[in-house]
Amino acid sequence: MIAKCLSPGGKIGICSPSHIADREKYGRIAAGLRERGYRVLEADNLYKDTYGYLSAPRERAADFNQLIADPAVELVFFGGGEGSNELLPYIDYEAVRRNPKRICGFSDGTTILNAVWAMTGLETYYGQSPSLFPDISAYDEEQFRKHLVEGDIKKHIPNSPWQVQTAGAGTGILVGGYARNVALMLGSRYFPIDRDRKYILFIEDHEQFGGVAYVSAMLTHIELSGFMGSVTGLIFGNYSDEPHPELLARLKRLGERYGIPVVYCDDFGHGSNHAIFPIGRTATLDTGKPELVY
């Protein structure tokens, strides 16, 4: 299921599943979106700090459900932080099925994006957050427009060299996001592993959050879940501004172990490029070209 595109001048609903929104910062975000012709709706609990570090899970879920239920909202948009997994029991998945719309998030938002697709079949979009506005780069704005406004993109547009770790080609359903969130939700009721399906996994992490040993542990957690047996290709996003040979070697070992193509790039993640990946869309990763088409 694919929702209609965000129309020029359409309404964007903003919520914050993983952090307390700062009024001044979000004021600039809203201004940046309005400068580009969009209308903006801030969810009712956006600025609440019920727990001191976050608002209550039901409050954050109510914001998400509010934006889903509002017929005028065409894009639900949110960023990262910590704690989005707390929302999963309170999301109105039936309302998502009745009111499909574009949903885009980033980082900790990984959990919601994958759960919504797994529970409803609605394609969601990983890679950008409201914080990119108003100072969004030309590449990021192109990604926003092509995936969320035009919606006719058939091939990933790179903005960095692709470093092939293991060669080959594979086809499957795109899933993924921030490495820790992917690892922790695999096998849960909100993201069950379907052994009869094949997947292209895209994941990212950054050295500001953990060293290579930490990333390796997350990869191992994914392996222990049994999910890698259904993965036909892997794309890893920006980890550092400088090449990290230990990480590349770890990715190469992973690809060789499962006989799948693996590439590293700086197109997405917590770096300067924020490509969008459509979760739930069938794609082919071919490292011989190299390219990702869908």
pLDDT in tens, 196-206: 899 999 999 99
Domains of the chain with CATH codes:
11-150 (3.40.50.10740), 163-293 (3.50.30.60)
Say how many C-beta atoms besides its own lie within 10 A of residue 52's C-beta.
7
Per-residue pLDDT at 187: 83
| Range 216-232 average pLDDT | 95
Residue 82 gets the label, from left (phi > 0), alpha (psi -120 to 50) or beta, of: beta
Q: Give the model's pLDDT for residue 134.
A: 87
Confidence of residue 105 (pLDDT cuts 50, 70, 90): very high
Residue 294's pLDDT band, with cuts at 50, 70 and 90, is: very high
Q: What is the 3-state secondary structure (H, E, C) of the chain?
A: CCCCCCCCCCEEEECCCCCCCCHHHHHHHHHHHHHCCCEEEECCCCCCCCCCCCCCHHHHHHHHHHHHHCCCEEEEECCCCCCHHHHHHHCCHHHHHHCCCEEEECHHHHHHHHHHHHHHCCCEEECCCHHHCCCCCHHHHHHHHHHHHHCCCCECCCCCCCEEEECCEEEEEEEEEEHHHHHHHCCCCCCCCCCCCCEEEEEECCCCCCCHHHHHHHHHHHHHCCHHHHEEEEEEEECCCCCCHHHHHHHHHHHHHHCCCEEEEEEEECCCCCCCEEECCEEEEECCCCEEEC
Q: Which two tokens stand for residue 237?
A: 């996003």
Whole-angstrom distance, CA of residue 30 vs CA of residue 168: 43
Confidence of residue 195 (pLDDT cuts 50, 70, 90): confident
Mean per-residue pLDDT of the chain: 96
For the stretch 27-75, pLDDT in tens is 999 999 999 999 999 999 999 999 999 999 999 999 999 999 999 999 9
Q: What is the pLDDT of residues 236-269, one digit of tens each?
A: 999 999 889 999 999 999 999 999 999 999 999 9
